[in-house]
Amino acid sequence: MRKEWMEPVIEVQEFVANEYVAACESGMVYKFTCDAPRGPLYYYPEGDGKINGEYTGHGSAELLGFFYHPCDAKHEASVTSDFYDGFVDYNYNSRQDPNEGVIVWRGPNNNNGHATIELNMNSWATAKS
């Protein structure tokens, strides 16, 4: 049986950005509320690969403030800002216990402490600044 010869064809696919790629644009911000209850606020400067308030790495927690209290402000932080797993030590034992996890943002100059109990960053509102 004889096969029919076909001329080679080159196909070019145009890249079309989806929503995920568009969300990483310069100028995008997360909107979240500083709403973790008051108490000693700790954070883990060495990440464990995910930010969800449940640290599974081997680094130790650092105390950000013994008298942390929420400012209840709706913050806007760049999506490229550093966020950390952390906890508010409700029972003052200097270690993270169940239901103490928070996500910590150190502020625009990385010198402050804001914490939220909303542990799913994918649910946070985003906007273009």
Q: Based on the structure, what is the number of domains in the chain?
A: 1
Closest CA to 57 of 44, 70, 75, 72: 44
Residues in the chain: 129
The pTM of the full predicted model, rounded to 2 decimals, is 0.77
Domain hosting 54: range is 28-128
Residue at 88 is within a domain? yes
- Count other Cβ atoms within 10 Å, centred on residue 4: 4
**Each residue's pLDDT tens digit, 28-86:** 999 999 999 999 999 999 989 999 999 999 999 999 999 999 999 999 999 989 999 99
Residue at 18 is within a domain? no
Where are the extended beta strands (E) located within the chain?
28-33, 39-43, 62-68, 74-78, 83-88, 101-105, 114-116, 125-128
Q: Give 49's DSSP letter.
A: S
pLDDT at 23: 46
